[in-house]
Structure 1
Amino acid sequence: MPAQPVPACAEEPRFDGVPPDRAKWRYRPRRDFWRSKAVRAGALITLLALCGLVILALVRDQTGTEGFLVGLGLAVLPVPLLGAAFRWLDRVDPGPWRNLFFALAWGACAAALVAIIANSFATRWIATATADPSSADHLGASVIAPIVEESAKAAAVLLLFLFRRRDFKGIVDGVVFAGFT
């Protein structure tokens, strides 16, 4: 059988939409929106702010407006002094401000809300179990409250250690984060 001639190919079609420099046409996969740092930071800020608002509402409901304002003023008064002291302690290799703000917000909002809810639940449970509400208040305030509050605050240091491990360069960083919490 004789060999068949190879048919001539037509010229490749031109696409005007494709630029001649194809190096700029790199494939960049789209990230999911929840993997964005801005979305995660916004969700964390919103969650901590909601915790803070719930705390403010609970404390104002329990103490009244005058007691709430006095307590808020006395709680906020030492914050700049303590913040400056812990920042001075971390002066050799200071950590990022975002971690310090997270620790402060966690201690003021999330840990305080966890402590309020857990302490009131535990006090009610002890009061129903022992049928003595006055001893339940004393036991809740002296035994359960410190354990719950300090454990909730320690969660901030643990979260920073797990998710921002590169910012931990020594024991001093843990002390500073715990102090801000």
Structure 2
Amino acid sequence: MTDSDAFLKAWEPDNTIPYPRRHWMEEFAAPAATYPAVDFLPLDMSAVFTAYLEGAQFDLYSLINLEMGPDGTLALAVIGAVPEERDDMLFCLDTDNGQVLLLGVGDGTLELVNSTFKAFAEFLYHFALFIDADTGGLGRAKRAKALRATMNAIDPAALEDRESWWNVALIQLGSKR
């Protein structure tokens, strides 16, 4: 498990924002083990994550109750967005089970991003390490393959679907020269 200092170093202290970990753990049904050990997230991470939602349709950490028909209501907490699509593609915590889902606001689609919020933070951590160590195209595909193996060891369900959020991000990393 990655410790607080390692997260801060990878994400840089000026590039973090607190989230209401303690409050959420008391209020939401998601098990405590599904939360990261830290109470902060990165503000911005290249093309994969941003917490900058100013001016977007939903605010950071706002709650969304998504009607699921006969299955009831899915309660989600917004934890960030896809940087290029921050009005439409939101990373959300499923407050019942601790999964991180990608919500397509416009069409109401849901996609599993990570099995737990904790795994999501670990993926962002390892992605940040990859970006920080990047020196260009030579060797990038090999390093992307190693990153995939690390991520798969953390949360294999996040990489099961070939078109999942993380698979697409990893394919793009490996193909950039």
TM-score (norm 1): 0.34
Say which structure is richer in strand.
2
Taking CA–CA contacts closer than 8 Å with sequence separation of 6 or more, which of the two structures ends up with the larger relative contact order? Answer: 1
TM-score (norm 2): 0.34
Structure of larger gyration radius: 1
